[in-house]
Amino acid sequence: MIPAAFDYQRAGSIDDAIHLLSEGGEDAKLIAGGHSLLPLMKLRLAAPTLLIDIGRLQDLSYVRDAGDAVAVGALTRHHDVHRSELLAREAPLLAHVAGEIGDPQVRHRGTIGGSLAHGDPASDLPAACLALGASFTLLGPGGERSVAATEFFLGFLETALAPEEVLAEIVIPKAAGAGWSFQKFNRRAQDWAIVGVAAVRNGSTGIGLVNMGSTPLRAGAVESALAAGASIEEAATHASDGLDPPADLNASPEYRRHLAEVLVRRALQEADGRH
């Protein structure tokens, strides 16, 4: 498929990108790696009139120590997130999940910010950020604001980003020594997960779910059950409580509920083994 016609501009700085977004309005979109937006454009599910290329803004590509957290620039490639020694030490779940995305070509081109800003419930990185208690730094004409991952994903492919804002940074609380696990069930390597689970146990428990609703989600019922003293096996039975998993060619809602229970149990057991 061929996308609808659009204009193209390359931003020279973050401020330039924000200015171009403000001028372009809701019909302007940012592009970096392009793995999320371009397929939608080819299918005519998205038809922006202006693409603003921010892929070469090096000041948004970094992984650095931020005291009690690790700060990751939104244009950091998946490969660099996966290979980061700082993340491997302080937030190994995120480093591991980045290495599970697509194939080497995708990981060398795609960016963590692009994946999160797309807000796809079938994507792995949003679930990891939810489990880790991450927050996102957004920049716009009005300045800077921070949004918790739990408040960022609003609907299907809809996030808290305003049309003129840029996702600039992901802030991950340090969790060195925490137990963690990422479980993903898919038909073939490189396929989207039918269901996935990201779990962190570090005094309290954070669990993010992949493909169990219209947005990336936390397994709140499981977290509450564990906090109340339930065993892993008992808590895992609540994996789909209050959720509305989708039906598609790969799985029915019932199958996804079953998978979620199995994968949550496995994730929690593996996390306990690492703690």
Q: What is the mean pLDDT of each run of 10 residues along the chain (275 residues)?
A: 87 95 89 82 84 91 98 97 98 96 89 95 97 98 97 96 96 94 88 94 96 97 98 98 95 97 98 84
Q: Name the superfamily (CATH) of residues 179-274.
A: CO dehydrogenase flavoprotein, C-terminal domain (3.30.390.50)
* Spans of all domains in the chain: 7-53, 58-173, 179-274
Distance of CA 68 to the CA centre of its chain: 21
Q: Quick check: 241 and 234 in contact, CB under 8 A?
A: no
Write down the pTM of the prediction: 0.94
DSSP class of residue 6 equals -
The helix-helix angle for 220-227 and 253-274 (nearest 10°) equals 40
DSSP class of residue 161 equals -
Closest by Cα among 183, 191, 203, 163 to 262: 183
pLDDT at residue number 275: 64
Element (H, E) at 65: strand 63-65
> Within 13 A of 53's CA, how many CA atoms are on the CB side?
9
pLDDT at residue number 2: 84
pLDDT at residue number 44: 85
Q: What CATH class has 58-173?
A: alpha beta
Tokens of 162: 């305003």
Q: What does DSSP say about strands 28-31 and 50-53: parallel, antiparallel, or unpaired?
A: parallel
CATH of the domain spanning 7-53: 3.30.43.10
Tokens of 216: 């990336």
For 122-174, write each residue's pLDDT tens digit: 999 999 999 999 999 999 999 999 999 999 999 999 999 999 999 999 999 99
Distance set, CA 225 to CA 4, 60, 205, 212, 237 (Å): 49, 39, 10, 19, 10
Distance of CA 145 to the CA centre of its chain: 19
